[in-house]
Structure 1
Amino acid sequence: MNPVYISAAAALSPQYTFEAEGLLQDVRSSDNGKLFVTDADYSKFINPVAIRRMSRLLKMGISTGMKCMQLAGIRSPDGIITGTGRGSMRDMEIFLGDMIRLKEETLNPTYFIQSTYNSVNGWLAMQTKCNGYNQTYVHRGHSLEMALLDAQMLLNETNERKTYLVGAFDEMTDEYFLVKSKKAYWKKPVPNSLDLFKHSDTKGSIGGEGAAFFTVTNDKENTICGIEDIRMLQDPDENEINRTIENVLQRHHLNIKNIDLVLCGMNGDSRFQPLYANILTGFTARTSITAFKHLTGEYDTSTSFALWLATELFKRQEIPEIITLKKGIHSDIKNVLIVNHYILNSASILLLKGN
């Protein structure tokens, strides 16, 4: 398939990414194993009356999507495609709690309605008057990747210039954190989030959340970067990761010397650290190796933060020290590889090319 292009991107994360002019200058950390997003002024993007009835995830997703379209100068996209691994966890927990407490009688349907995975899409469509294609993917660690692939296929089917709003969103709650702690998702004892990679010899990671949106188009003009390739892997080992990277590079007539920067999704969990062993040692001195989950925590659609971060690196041509594992000697940032995994059993590889 032909590449598709990102013309604008916005992210709401545990760091100051939504409105800050600098990139990761004032870094937030956590000592309790949880990284929650820094809330923005949602009233800039949502009617204040409607905000009162909205869940936190709805406010996160809608505001990030509207911010992205504002940056792109678009009032209404041709379609809206999103991915989420959990949807609105808080609304679902409230609804199920009420169901038990009220013995399934006189239930308030609001929490159920807002807990559905496509609520963010519906609100965005109403606010932008978008009557086009509208789809939500719920595929755990591959949710964003499925949304991007869907957008790529749709844009490859037409010769007309079209722009889709593509995004991802996931939230974390205390109850979710507690349940997953019983499945060894999180580190014990808990390190400071900025020291996450110093504890890669033990099991577990830190919990996170976030939302990110992108305007994706088939017209290269006035765009930030192109998405050249999207690969999704199930239960991969180190060898399959390496083979897939080689295959992606060969398909696009590249080799490891052509990659300027790699964004790694390692999460400090000793069970998954081998997936990144070759990446940390196999690339040449020219390539910068970076990581991001000590800033966001682990969540299903963390690839969305990595993709947003890549767009910022393309624009700024500077790599913040806080994400750098190995500084390369490349002159500029043109080819970027995102290699990410989710704590269950999925991994993905994205190849990006700056415009």
Structure 2
Amino acid sequence: MSEQPVHYYINGIGILSPQKTFDNNSFLTEITSYDQNVLRCITPEFKDYINPIQLRRLNRMLRIGLTAATICMRDAKVQSPDGIITGTGYGFLDETAKFLRELLEQQEKQLTPTYFMQSTYNALAGLIALSVKCMGYNNTYVSKGLAFENVLDDAILRLRENKDHNFLIGAFDEAAEVQYLASIRASHFKTEHIQNLDLFKTTTKGSIQGEGAAFFMLSGKASDTTWCILRDMQFVYNPSNAEVVTESITSFLAANNTTLQDIDLWIDGASGDVEYDRIMNTLSETLFKEVYHVRFKHLCGESCTASSFALWLGASILKHQQVPEILKVDKERDLSGLKSVLIVNQYMNKNFSFFLLKHI
């Protein structure tokens, strides 16, 4: 994906997360702490974004996703995009669990169709399209830790064909109890209760569960609402060691005529897992030793699509030209005139992705 020097503009954003991120006029001015290992979305008044008649028929995650998409379209001043592409790691697990539970309890008779209809992976993309009467391209990717990356990949390829198009792209995952219980047994989440803001002080296995929905209006043309430029994106699956990731990042930057000295700040996708963070910790001590360092998963938790939160974070840093204290690893250093941000995310130490963002 690095062979063609094309610019992709993020012209609008809408995000709901465990922090108060739905208001684009503020940037992490209020930090919410959690004393449990499950972080759930902070939501606005849904009726401000969704028709009340439609609202009562939707489950919680569909409300969150549709609200995030609506905020994004309003921010970009786009009434109906040319296409909608979403990604998710596990989809609507709560609705799936309700459907399967009823299937067993009712012995496969007189089942409620709503649970099934709202449990399919593409339910959100279809709902958004119906709400804004978008008859264009519509697709959903379900690929765990690379779901959002595949969404971006698809959108970028389509914008190369027509840079005038506006694609509404997004990702969502929920903090479902059924997933949490299964992940605890696999040591993906911590067994001991911690305070989320202390995530990176722990030295144990596992992370904390997060959820959220983030949407971006991506186009090949800038507008008066542009946040930043997405210069390029790349992902690597199951690298054997930190050297492989280092070589991939170096090649990625070189393909975009960028050096490490050009990077003002890098966003670290470490998850607080003593085992899965080994490669990320090695990168911070070697390749990125001299680059300003921030982390984010203590705010949003870990999920398959946490990289979408990181993209919002990078875009917000470039737009607002500030780095909130809660993100900083290098607290003694000050920054000004931010022009380039590199995001390096990892999921379960298998899925690594890189996003290069530039100030407009």
- TM tier, shorter chain? over 0.9
The amino acid that maps onto 1:234 is Y
Identity of aligned residues (%): 37
Q: 1:228 aligns to what?
A: 231
Q: 2:13 aligns to what?
A: 9
Q: Tell me the alpha carbon deviations over residues 267-289 of structure 1, each in whole angstroms, 9 at most, x when there is no partner.
A: 10011222112432335676321
Q: Secondary structure at the match of 1:347?
A: strand
Q: Among residues 156, 173, 178, which one is paired with 2:176 in the alignment? A: 173
RMSD: 1.5
- Structure 1 unaligned regions, length at least 5: none
In 1, Cα distance between equivalents of 2:114 and 2:334: 54
Q: Among residues 290, 298, 312, which one is paired with 2:302 in the alignment? A: 298
In the alignment, is the contact (CA less than 8 A) between 2:246 and 2:287 conserved in 1?
Answer: no
Q: 1:346 aligns to what?
A: 351
Query: Greater CA deviation, 14-23 or 46-55?
Result: 14-23
In 2, Cα distance between equivalents of 1:16 and 1:27: 7
The reply on whether 1:307 has 2:311 as its aligned counterpart is yes
Query: Greater CA deviation, 339-348 or 247-256?
Result: 339-348
Q: 1:195 aligns to what?
A: 198
In the alignment, is the contact (CA less than 8 A) between 1:242 and 1:278 conserved in 2?
Answer: no
- Structure 2 unaligned regions, length at least 5: none
Q: 1:152 aligns to what?
A: 156
The reply on whether 1:182 has 2:185 as its aligned counterpart is yes
The amino acid that maps onto 1:179 is A
Q: 1:217 aligns to what?
A: 219
In 2, Cα distance between equivalents of 1:215 and 1:11: 12
In the alignment, is the contact (CA less than 8 A) between 2:94 and 2:177 conserved in 1?
Answer: no
Q: Among residues 39, 54, 60, which one is paired with 1:35 in the alignment? A: 39
The reply on whether 1:69 has 2:73 as its aligned counterpart is yes
Q: 1:334 aligns to what?
A: 339
Q: 1:134 aligns to what?
A: 138
Q: Secondary structure at the match of 2:217?
A: strand
In 2, Cα distance between equivalents of 1:270 and 1:182: 17
In 2, Cα distance between equivalents of 1:284 and 1:177: 33
C-alpha displacement at 1:94, in angstroms? Answer: 0.4
Q: Tell me the alpha carbon deviations over residues 51-96 of structure 1, each in whole angstroms, 9 at most, x when there is no partner.
A: 1111111001111001100011110000001111111111101000
Q: Tell me the alpha carbon deviations over residues 214-236 of structure 1, each in whole angstroms, 9 at most, x when there is no partner.
A: 00000134322222221111112
Q: 1:3 and 1:347, CA in 2 relative to 1: closer, same or farther beyond 3 A?
A: same
Q: Secondary structure at the match of 1:115?
A: coil
Could you tell me the TM-score, scaled by structure 1's length?
0.96
In the alignment, is the contact (CA less than 8 A) between 1:6 and 1:217 conserved in 2?
Answer: yes
In the alignment, is the contact (CA less than 8 A) between 2:242 and 2:283 conserved in 1?
Answer: no
Q: Secondary structure at the match of 1:325?
A: coil
Q: 1:229 and 1:184, CA in 2 relative to 1: closer, same or farther beyond 3 A?
A: same
Q: Secondary structure at the match of 1:306?
A: helix
In the alignment, is the contact (CA less than 8 A) between 1:257 and 1:283 conserved in 2?
Answer: no
Q: Tell me the alpha carbon deviations over residues 99-138 of structure 1, each in whole angstroms, 9 at most, x when there is no partner.
A: 0111111111111011001111111111111100001011
The amino acid that maps onto 1:196 is L
In 2, Cα distance between equivalents of 1:116 and 1:166: 18
Between Structure 1 and Structure 2, how many residues are aligned? 353
In 1, Cα distance between equivalents of 2:289 and 2:347: 28
In the alignment, is the contact (CA less than 8 A) between 1:76 and 1:128 conserved in 2?
Answer: yes
